[in-house]
Structure 1
Amino acid sequence: VVDNAGENVTLKAEGVNFDEEVSDIFEFSSGPINASGDTLRVEVCISDCPYLASEPYIIDLIASDNACPLPQRDTVRMIFNVEAPPNTKPFYDSPSSATTLVRSQPEGVSVALDELLIGKDNDLDSLRFFFYAEDYDPVAYGISLDTVLDTKGEKRVNFNWNTSCQNFPFGDRNTFDLGIVLEDYDTCSFDSGDTLFYELEVVLPPNTSPQLDGPEALYNRQIKSSLNFDVSTTDADNDPITLSAFGNGFNLSNVGISFVGGLENGVIESPFAWELSCANLNITQTTSYSIFFVTEDQDFCEETNADTLEVVVNVVVPANNKPEFEIDDFYSLNINEEFVLDVIANDGDNSDLLTLDLLSVNSAPPSEGFSFERSTGSGRVSSTLTWTPECALLGENYATESYTVDFLVFDDNCPNIESQSISVTFEVSELAVDYGQFVPPNAFTPNGDGHNDTYTLSNLTDQIYNLPPDNCADQFQSIIIFDRTGSKIFQSSSREFVWTGNGADAGTYYFQIDYLNTDYKGTITLVR
């Protein structure tokens, strides 16, 4: 390589018609040009074995300098003819590789498929055997080669196969395409050999698949109903069998399904139970559920023998009627008089559970005498409103006032819950009292005969004998009874008073009844 003095030259080689790395064929990889401008001499050492077995091969020898700013390079293309050492291919002396060999072996035996595999090489090269198999490892399935003789030019091996399911997974795979390659160790390690091809099969013992039975393929069930059936599986071989179930896109327990399944010999029966409640199901997302029941046996060779049954459950959501109230929207009430109203609502679906309540806590009027309880009922619901209005509910000068009470009824017909509300107006008025209609009884007979034995002015059959009711303008205060001398012999501030006449002689007595704004006076005759 000739260049200017002092230039540093780098040498490399590249194969043109082959891909092997050949940069190391230079004895020296690089060197400088000396000050005298002498040439740089290097040796190129070509391999004894050709890079291509049957044709010349081409190499570019490239020299590069490091001149600045424009490095230069020069290339010499060389064509080499290298004759490889002579080599004859090894061959099978027994058995012949001319045809594919077919072998079927019963499960559970360990056999030498061919007594010997004999490979020979006329060049007396050393020999080796190896497996050629796609997508599986022969050793993982009990296949082995055991050397019997290994000399220059000849090698003998036993081709053995252990077909026991206890040791190898023939339940997963029991047929095999296998090549056994014979190759020599020639000087240049060219690919040269002979191959035996086998079609192998392990004959597995008979095994019947388990069978599922019990449920239908399709069920239509209304929401708030239940679904129950038994699932059974049997295996004619009486193998251990499993029974399980899973939902397509959902967890069985999360939707309220109870199913145990299990592992038994020969027969399994397991109950399936499902409460199709709104709490378990999200009907707004789906109304169709696919459930898969799977049974599989555990036979000696662990073959995959399964039976699967799909059950589709369609959840039916019926139309829902709104509940309706059976009350009016207006009622009149009087102060101090108890008002009773049965608040009733019904549902056209008849089976829905209804809940009746005030629409809100603010729906109740500001009255201690108001009472209404939340209630539930199937198809029909009622709750009793009782109300004895107080004077404080009236307006100025005891003017009539109106109060609105809001009631709500709703059903449990999921997922389409229906409700209804009603606003009822209650008109509260002052109690009109005719004080002139009061005619107090004027005699009683405390003789113990059970008739007219006490003197009272309440709860009497004839209304005119009872004390006038209280209203906001006038209320009962007291009753006082005097004898002829003006002495007080009985007094009470209770409207429910009872005078027995004890200690009093027969004769005439005087009473005074005081209301806040009204007074009554008269006589009472005590007859013994």
Structure 2
Amino acid sequence: MLYSKTITLAANTYDSPQGYYVAVERCCRNSSISNIVSPNSAAQTFYLEFPAVVRRGQPFVDSTPRIAPPLADYACINELFYYDFGGQDADGDSLVYDLVTPLNGHSDSNEPKPTAADPGPYPPITWLPPAPATPGAPAPPPLSTLNQIPGAPTLSIARATGRLTVRPTSQGLFVFGVRCSEYRKGEKIGEARRDFQLMVLTCPTNTKPNLAVLPAPTGNVRYRPGRDTLRLAPGTNHCVRLRFTDPDPNSRLTLSLSPVNFSGVMPNFTTASSGAVRMAGAPDTLTATLCFPECMNTAGRVFLLDVVVGDDGCSLPKRDTVRVAFVAVPPPNSAPTIATTAGPALPLRVRVGDLVSFEVNGADLDDPVRLEMAGKGFSPADLGATLSQGTVGNQQRGRFTWRVDCRSVSSDSVRTFEFTAATSPCSTREAVTVSVPVIIQYANRAPALLSDLPPPRPGEAIPVVELPLGRVFTATFTGTDPDRDGLMLTATGTTEDGKEGFDLTTAGMRFDTRNGSGVANGTFTWDVSCLAANLHRSLVVTFRLIDATCTPLPQFQRVRLQVKSPDSLAVKLYNVITPNRDGLNDEFKLPDLPPNFCDVQFTNIKIFSRWGQQVFESPNRDFRWPGQGTGGLYYYYVTYTDGRKYRGWLEVRP
């Protein structure tokens, strides 16, 4: 039965850099164990060690290796026994195996199931001392970690693979310990220890089976390993007979194949490769037929194949192996051929918009042929090229079609298509390739953009047009292209550096165009109004002429448009009045303030006494203030909606 539970170790609690271990203690062991002292009172400890939860400041993820399941086989005295303990690790860590003495632990018969294991270290079991030696015979070696089951050879385990091997010399039930250590980048990060038991019995004698290879279809001449070499040539027999038997009664024999120095294609059994011998109604000798494929090719080398017969004897099967050497030559094969109707004048010369079409034919007298298409340094599919194909007799006929478009235009004006006729005789690829170079003839001359915009002022990069409200500005544009490409004129409100800026209609502007092939015309109109003035910014219009071709060469012209403001005169501020009713300078007024202009409006004026008391306020730009009746010094403050301010002082003389 398998028990499992997920346990999460919080890094802020389990912060030991040495890692942790899990242990369970139980008592007691099987009383029939033959190699330890007092097995009925010996305890056992199940142990697993794993790395720290956090290593070098980072969470450390590790999976426990899955090693072999509990041992369920038995061994026979004086018979070689082996078992694969090799496991797997989900993280790809290296696993190393060795034998260890089983752990006894701290539990006993008085407390066989403690609620929790004590901390390590855990004492090991005590090995049974050797029996007294037979007079005149050498004393047997004592039991130990490296001699846990008496044998010749004694119990051992392969360090890298975990394969267990022993030829036991004593009957009984033997306990032994295996450790699986886990390494990552050369550093040990954990280990798991397991106890196993192996029963050693006295078994009936199992004689190994016998195998004979008969290279001729008939007759009884045996193949002689190490001396004979099978030679498999086209038109010759590719099959051998196998005769196998076993002197033991009621044996079931099975044939298998193991390549020694090659891989890939293997021979196969065309008749039954297993059966029973020396059973009621069964023959004493079985036969099978092994055939090598006609396509097998050793390329002049000698291949070695082990033919193995095994029985089902106890405790492990016995085998007989015949190593067969052979050389094989595949049937002759004619190479495929390929041709196109693209030539003979190569390279092909095309222009953008042309349709390229020709046939590609592949043929092979022996094998089915397929056509393949590739591009040298590019993918034909990315350019829209296709190769449709169908089979007619022993030919594969294809139709290449390509509508040349702008995807084919690049710095490299040559596109080389490669067509291949391929076959797979005896699973070996054979191919022949033909190339069709295509030159894309493409050139583009820049279009020309002309207009009646004024020239730039000295020291400025682009023309400037400044007009007062109510005027209308018009400019005409003409674009021509020597290649007769399609032309398109556009106008865009931009910033000073040509980036997207404003919508033309929001500034009272429009651009009417007549686009066409080779010629395009446009008329720009600006109704100078507060729409432009209220944008409070520099209005730059970029005119663009674009030629509709693979690599366009657009042309540009720009103009800066400004609304002429009427407040260009210098502002005059007055600071003395004499309100004596003589008709001269009787009232305070500021007639030379900037006039209202679009959304730039006079807000108000406020007049204060020298002590900060407001004595007058008016929202009217044409205000009149006659003074306060007595003389003195006053201060005034004028504001506009765009944030402009005018300040001054005023002396009132009676």
TM-score interval, smaller chain: 0.3 to 0.5
State which structure, 1 or 2, has the greater radius of gyration over its C-alpha atoms: 1
- When normalised by structure 2's length, the TM-score is 0.40
- When normalised by structure 1's length, the TM-score is 0.48
